[in-house]
């Protein structure tokens, strides 16, 4: 997908706007998993999630290639929207962001704080995405899809950091929504010539990526009812599918209950907050721990933007929405 030099160029650009995020070895997680665990802490990024990286590279590309555009329009459940709003505002551009009704109130507030013009539309992410693409036809705003080469090139910089610090990782678990994180991690691995297994993780309530790989073609789901909103995608992205269906070791689904357990473990073992998608990688690693014995395991904590009400429920031992 990218050469090492292309990812180095992206990393130099990203480093102008944010510090590298840490990758920590947590002994209590190692005890729980029965193997060494390295956590890539994208929850420590400036927006609290990995998406901020793609916003930087995408907006730089947009300014160079479409200088007449007044801004961008896109759809999100929160982290992508924060990334786009932050980067657009920094470059003097508008950011019109569509979210579904009932979206996270705290993520909505964060997007507005980063400069977003927020529009609520539809029952889920995919309906909001369709509305955002229609809006681009009537305003001088560039439509930002959920998956784009420049988004992936920026996101891949977290994989570059992780693999440069830990080139001996045997396997890395990555959450999957629209697929930029998984494809970016695959791109970094391949650019560095490593043989690390990369495993994708979806919600069992939004398992389109897993079902698509098993079927050999895109498979939509009827719903995406999970509190792991970063993975709540009904319609898989074809460009991402073409990459991860060939290059990922496997893709597996986890339940909301397993994600809830992983969020609690992150808090007790590391005192880090993880949102639903952010904890999904650890959730699957815990289920697959028998195959990981004696191996060095990486898990991507992709974001920590969880609403307070949900976190209260989790700390009380419950599962949000149940």
- Residue 251, C-beta contacts closer than 8 angstroms, at least 6 positions apart: 176, 199, 200, 201, 202, 209, 210, 213, 244
| Chain position carrying tokens 């933007």 | 305
∠ CA 117-49-11 to the nearest 5 degrees?
100
Residue count of the chain, please give it: 322
Is 17 within 8 Å of 83 (Cβ atoms)?
Answer: no
Is 163 within 8 Å of 141 (Cβ atoms)?
Answer: no
Domains of the chain in sequence order = 4-50+149-316 (3.40.50.1100), 51-143 (3.40.50.1100)
Q: What is the pTM of this model?
A: 0.94
How far apart (Å, rounded) are the C-alpha atoms in residues 20 and 7?
A: 14
* SS3 call for 157: helix
Burial of 89 (0-12, 13-18, 19+ CB in 10 A): middle
pLDDT of residue 146: 86
| Per-residue pLDDT tens digits of the chain, which is 322 residues long | 899 999 999 999 999 999 999 999 999 999 999 999 999 999 999 999 999 999 999 999 999 999 999 999 999 998 999 999 999 999 999 999 999 999 999 999 999 999 999 999 999 998 999 999 999 999 999 999 989 999 999 999 999 999 999 999 999 999 999 999 999 999 999 999 999 999 999 999 999 999 999 999 999 999 999 999 999 999 999 999 999 999 999 999 999 999 999 999 999 999 999 999 999 999 999 999 999 999 999 999 999 999 999 999 999 999 998 6
Centroid of chain to Cα 172: 14
Q: How far is CA 28 from CA 44, 103, 269, 270, 290, in A?
A: 20, 33, 5, 8, 17
């Amino acid at each position: 997908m990218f050469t090492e030099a292309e990812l180095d160029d992206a990393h130099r650009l990203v480093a102008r706007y944010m510090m590298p995020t840490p990758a920590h070895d947590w002994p209590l997680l190692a005890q729980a998993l029965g193997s060494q665990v390295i956590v890539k802490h994208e929850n420590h990024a400036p927006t609290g999630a990995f998406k901020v990286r793609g916003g930087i590279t995408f907006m730089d590309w947009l300014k160079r290639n479409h200088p007449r555009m007044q801004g961008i329009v896109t759809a999100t459940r929160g982290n992508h929207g924060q990334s786009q709003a932050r980067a657009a505002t920094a470059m003097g551009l508008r950011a019109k962001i569509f979210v579904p009704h009932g979206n996270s109130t705290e993520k909505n507030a964060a997007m507005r704080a980063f400069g977003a013009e927020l529009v609520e539309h539809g029952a889920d992410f995919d309906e909001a995405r369709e509305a955002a693409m229609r809006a681009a036809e009537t305003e001088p705003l560039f439509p930002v899809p959920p998956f784009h080469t420049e988004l992936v090139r920026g996101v891949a910089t977290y994989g570059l950091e992780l693999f440069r610090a830990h080139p001996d990782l045997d396997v890395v678990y990555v959450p999957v929504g629209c697929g930029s994180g998984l494809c970016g991690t695959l791109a970094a691995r391949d650019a560095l010539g490593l043989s690390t297994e990369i495993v994708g993780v979806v919600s069992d309530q939004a398992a389109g990526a897993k079902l698509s790989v098993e079927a050999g073609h895109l498979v939509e789901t009827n719903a995406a009812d999970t509190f792991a909103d970063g993975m709540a995608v009904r319609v898989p992205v074809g460009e991402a599918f073409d990459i991860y269906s060939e290059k990922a070791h496997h893709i597996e689904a986890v339940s909301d209950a397993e994600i809830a357990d992983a969020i609690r473990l992150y808090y007790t073992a590391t005192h880090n907050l993880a949102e639903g998608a952010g904890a999904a990688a650890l959730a699957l690693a815990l289920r697959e721990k028998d195959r990981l014995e004696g191996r060095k395991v990486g898990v991507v904590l992709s974001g920590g933007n969880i609403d307070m009400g949900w976190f209260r429920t989790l700390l009380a031992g419950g599962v949000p929405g149940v």
